[in-house]
């Protein structure tokens, strides 16, 4: 009598509640009844388990079956269809072959026995699961495509409304005729969102500091609890607040009725988050912690060794003629390498923070005053040409990577059939992994090419972006003198990539790319070819 283990699997909870598992079970029992020497010893059910997304090593039923096979507890593995074992073309064929090598017959009610007597059997086994994987991919593509369509149409795809919005019925129904929710801006919550972005971009507050500030001010989240840093980080990085819906890598066009934050504020916020990322420590120009009385923190460097200057204090005591004892304290910028690693720097050890700050502040003030005098049209015309040149260079590089990836996949696939037939020096598993990795690279390259082509074609968006940048710089010039120290720090971090200080208080301001282009416009506008210099002495 052959001992039979049965495996039933459904991919979703909904299939469990309907007829799928009972149907599989009934079919397997009827099939066993037709065999004179078969007897069902044990049955395994996987409920809501994807055979395409989840590897065999992560499926308890497969692991239990493999353990039982090693212990020779059963003779036949029976499934309704072979895709119940799995739908991963780079894994499931080899799982089936493994059971057969253990002396277990693998049977399907619909497809019969899977044998491995010849190379053709191996190839047919692979093709079967390759086809099953293709069906899963098609189903996944259909689902993803529909979600992407909903996002592009500006419709909410389901779930909890992001903070700042509420769910409302606007008469939209799904294919079953059920009314579904859409998003609408919540007046109170949107005010909190705007405040979070303002404190982040204008004062440089990170998620942790913002969490403390909101708690101190008694601002609670939707559940009536204090805001935590991860929630604030999610708010700061979610494109929904600029009116853009997202599903995976798919982004919709901006929808004005969903916009809480303007595009430039959101862009600046992302730039600040990226600057503060740990993996960009060497490139960071935005302070994580703020020294109480210093203008430059995180973006000031030694002009000799290139290392960061850190803030410190110094003090002295002296006695006045009337006998009064006075303690004087001041802030300094110190070269960390000079203090801690003397052999790495030959420059000056420390600099007066007050002297440096005032020189930088005055230089930025003059620069911003000059920016206000440049006509917007002059700046936009010049920078438009630069923007198009940059996009074309990036597009050509993306196309080169796309073509290289396509050639790589074609070469790998050409080796796959010979490998499965045992006629290649390459292992089929390794080829499968290589094809998957190459496909991911190709998909990313194609997405980048498509995005860059769209950007290049959308000249109106480029011009609007340049106009917004100009308006923002003009507004910064108007605000700089009147804002407090924290806000001045953030203005400088947006304009300057780094301040480099050398012996004798020689200061070099290295402007960011955008501001450099404005300075070039200023230089061209000056009579006699006078050049704007960003090297000064404090």
- Provide the CA 88 distance to its chain's centre, in angstroms: 27
> Which has more confidence, 129 or 70?
70
In 3D, which of 231, 462, 504, 260 has the Cα closest to residue 359? 504
* Range list of β-strands (E), 125-276: 165-173, 179-185, 246-247, 250-251
Q: Any residues with CB less than 8 A from the CB of 185 and at least 6 apart, and which?
A: 164, 165, 166, 257, 258, 260
Which residues pair with residue 506 across a beta bridge?
Answer: 502, 537
Between 4-8, 15-19, 243-247, 273-277, the lowest mean confidence (pLDDT) is in 15-19
Assess whether 113 and 212 both reside in one domain. no
What token pair was written down for 529? 């070819």
Assess whether 100 and 235 both reside in one domain. no
Give the chain's domain count. 2
- Is pLDDT of 121 > 70? no
Cα separation, 419 vs 417, whole angstroms: 5
List helix spans (H) across 373-458: 376-420, 428-457
Assess whether 133 and 263 both reside in one domain. no
Q: What is the CATH number of the domain that holds 23?
A: 3.40.50.1390
Assess whether 240 and 141 both reside in one domain. no
Between 71-85, 326-340, 522-536, the lowest mean confidence (pLDDT) is in 522-536
Q: What is the pLDDT of residues 312-347, one digit of tens each?
A: 888 888 888 888 888 888 899 999 888 888 778 989
Cα separation, 295 vs 351, whole angstroms: 13
Largest CA distance in the chain: 117
- Position 333 scores a pLDDT of 93
173 is a domain residue: no
363 is a domain residue: no
What token pair was written down for 34? 């037709």
Assess whether 139 and 255 both reside in one domain. no
Assess whether 127 and 202 both reside in one domain. no
Assess whether 113 and 26 both reside in one domain. yes
Q: Name the 3-class secondary structure at 171.
A: strand
Between 172-186, 261-275, 328-342, 386-400, the lowest mean confidence (pLDDT) is in 172-186
pTM greater than 0.85 (yes/no): no
Q: What is the pLDDT of residues 417-451, one digit of tens each?
A: 787 777 777 777 777 778 888 888 888 888 889 88
In 3D, which of 260, 264, 277, 267 has the Cα closest to residue 206? 277
Q: What is the DSSP letter of 480?
A: T
- Provide the CA 150 distance to its chain's centre, in angstroms: 21
Cα separation, 166 vs 220, whole angstroms: 16
Identify the domain containing residue 125 by its residue range.
2-147
124 is a domain residue: yes
- Position 437 scores a pLDDT of 82
Cα dist. 458→221, 268, 389, 508 in Å? 39, 22, 14, 37
308 is a domain residue: no
Assess whether 89 and 212 both reside in one domain. no
Where is the domain boundary, 250, 280, 310? 280
- Position 527 scores a pLDDT of 46
* pLDDT band at residue 531 using 50, 70 and 90 as cut-offs: very low
Q: Name the 3-class secondary structure at 187.
A: helix
Assess whether 82 and 201 both reside in one domain. no
59 is a domain residue: yes
Q: What is the pLDDT of residues 132-185, one digit of tens each?
A: 555 554 455 455 555 666 666 667 777 889 999 999 988 777 766 777 888 899
254 is a domain residue: yes
- Is pLDDT of 74 > 90? yes
Question: Which string of DSSP letters, residue by residue, matches 72-109?
Answer: T--SEEEESSGGGT---TTTHHHHHHHHHHTT-EEEET
114 is a domain residue: yes
Assess whether 18 and 86 both reside in one domain. yes
Where is the domain boundary, 280, 298, 319? 280
Cα separation, 396 vs 458, whole angstroms: 17
């Amino acid at each position: 009598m052959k001992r039979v283990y049965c495996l039933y699997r459904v991919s979703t909870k909904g299939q469990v509640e309907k007829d799928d598992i009972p149907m599989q079970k009934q079919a397997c029992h009827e099939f066993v009844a037709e065999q004179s020497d078969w007897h069902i010893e044990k049955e395994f059910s996987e409920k809501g388990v994807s055979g395409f997304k989840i590897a065999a090593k992560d499926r308890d039923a497969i692991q239990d079956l493999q353990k039982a096979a090693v212990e020779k507890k059963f003779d036949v593995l029976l499934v309704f269809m072979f895709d119940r074992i799995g739908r991963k073309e780079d894994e499931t064929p080899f799982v089936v072959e493994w059971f057969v090598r253990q002396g277990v017959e693998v049977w399907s009610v619909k497809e019969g026995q899977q044998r491995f007597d010849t190379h053709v059997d191996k190839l047919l086994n692979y093709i079967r699961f390759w086809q099953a994987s293709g069906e899963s991919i098609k189903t996944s593509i259909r689902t993803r495509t529909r979600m992407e369509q909903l996002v592009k149409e500006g419709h909410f795809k389901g779930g909890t409304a992001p903070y700042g919005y509420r769910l409302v019925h606007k008469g939209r129904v799904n294919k079953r005729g059920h009314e579904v929710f859409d998003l609408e801006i919540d007046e109170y919550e949107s005010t909190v969102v705007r405040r979070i972005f303002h404190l982040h971009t204008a004062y440089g507050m990170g998620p942790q500091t913002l969490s403390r500030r909101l708690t101190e001010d008694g601002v609670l989240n939707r559940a009536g609890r204090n805001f935590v840093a991860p929630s604030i980080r999610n708010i700061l990085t979610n494109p929904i607040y600029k009116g853009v819906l997202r599903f995976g890598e798919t982004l919709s066009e901006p929808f004005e009725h969903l916009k809480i934050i303007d595009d430039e504020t959101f862009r600046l916020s992302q730039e600040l988050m990226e600057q503060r990322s740990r993996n960009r420590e060497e490139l960071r120009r935005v302070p994580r912690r703020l020294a109480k009385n210093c203008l430059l923190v995180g973006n000031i460097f030694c002009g000799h060794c290139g290392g960061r200057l850190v803030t410190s204090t110094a003090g002295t005591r002296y006695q006045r003629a009337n006998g009064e004892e006075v303690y004087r304290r001041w802030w300094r910028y110190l070269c960390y390498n000079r203090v801690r690693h003397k052999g790495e720097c030959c420059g000056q050890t420390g600099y007066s923070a007050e002297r440096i700050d005032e020189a930088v502040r005055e230089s930025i003030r003059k620069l911003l005053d000059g920016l206000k005098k440049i006509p917007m049209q002059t700046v936009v015309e010049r920078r438009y040409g630069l923007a198009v040149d940059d996009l074309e260079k990036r597009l050509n590089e993306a196309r080169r990577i796309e073509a290289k990836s396509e050639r790589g996949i074609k070469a790998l696939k050409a080796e796959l059939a010979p490998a499965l037939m045992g006629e290649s020096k390459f292992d089929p598993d390794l080829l499968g992994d290589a094809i998957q990795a190459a496909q991911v690279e190709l998909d990313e390259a194609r997405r980048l090419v498509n995005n860059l082509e769209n950007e290049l074609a959308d000249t109106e968006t480029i011009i609007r972006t340049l106009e917004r940048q100009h308006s923002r710089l003009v507004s910064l010039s108007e605000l700089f003198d009147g804002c407090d120290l924290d806000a001045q720090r953030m203005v400088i971090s947006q304009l300057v990539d780094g301040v480099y200080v050398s012996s004798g208080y020689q200061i070099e301001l290295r402007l960011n790319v955008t501001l450099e282009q404005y300075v070039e416009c200023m230089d061209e506008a000056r009579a006699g070819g006078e050049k704007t210099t960003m090297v000064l002495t404090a």
